[in-house]
Amino acid sequence: MSKPINGKKIAILATDGYEQVELTDPKKNLEKAGATVEVISIKKGEIKGWNHTDWGKSVKVDHLVNEVEPADYDALVLPGGQINPDKLRTDKNAVAFIKEFVETGKPVAAICHGPWGLVEADVVKGKTVTSWPSIHTDLKNAGANWVDKEVVQDGNLITSRKPEDIPAFSNQLIETLAKAS
């Protein structure tokens, strides 16, 4: 039996300060399901993760965000951590990529503080989403309906709250990609 998302290509957009498990675990889960996963960033080389209370491991950057197009990928993942999405939302290329990706209708999965990128791209108005609790006001102010659930899908947006939600978050994205095949 073939894997459900063989041939799918997924982008993870991140920079220094991403919550380590929110990048590494979805990446591993997507690859296990048959996808090719690339890390795209606003800086070349490697980006350093944040592991709960201190700096963690680094991952290799495959491409700069301004070198790729949403058409190159089947889905986009936005990991959280406080530092990573805060840096990304101040980068015009990252914000433009997120906005264009959402507009394609392909899945965009954001976890923890990752939805800050969706706020900055102005794509949450009228959508039901979840996130780390401290950014719920930002999402509401951007016109979203915020709920406290493990995983929420509204159209092509998939959102989750925290590292403990990663299994449900990954499964929702994999199921959505498998249905699109």
For 60-112, how does the pLDDT look when each residue is reduced to its tens digit (9 = 90+)?
Answer: 999 999 999 999 999 999 999 999 999 999 999 999 999 999 999 999 999 99
Residues in CB range of 56: below 8 A, 6 or more apart: 20, 48, 49, 50
Q: 1: pLDDT confidence band, cut at 50, 70 and 90?
A: very low
Spot the catalytic one: 52, 63, 112, 136.
112
Q: Is residue 33 within 8 Å of 174, Cβ to Cβ?
A: yes
Closest CA to 49 of 95, 75, 83: 83
Q: Which tens digits make up the pLDDT trace of 125-162?
A: 999 999 999 999 999 999 999 999 999 999 999 999 99
Spot the catalytic one: 52, 63, 113, 136.
113
Q: Is 136 a catalytic residue?
A: no
User: In the block, which residue shows the tokens 């690339």?
Assistant: 38
The angle subtended at Cα 149 by Cα 132 and Cα 140, nearest 5°, is 55
Residue 2 predicted with pLDDT over 80: no
More confident call, 14 vs 1:
14
Written out in words, the top-level CATH class of the domain with range 9-180 is alpha beta
Residues in CB range of 106: below 8 A, 6 or more apart: 70, 73, 74, 75, 76, 156, 180
Residue 181 predicted with pLDDT over 80: no
Please tell me whether the overall predicted TM-score, pTM, comes out greater than 0.85 for this model: yes
37: left (phi over 0), alpha (psi -120 to 50) or beta: beta
Q: Is 112 a catalytic residue?
A: yes
- Burial (0-12, 13-18, 19+ Cβ within 10 Å), 178: middle
Which pLDDT score, from 0 to 100, does residue 180 have? 84
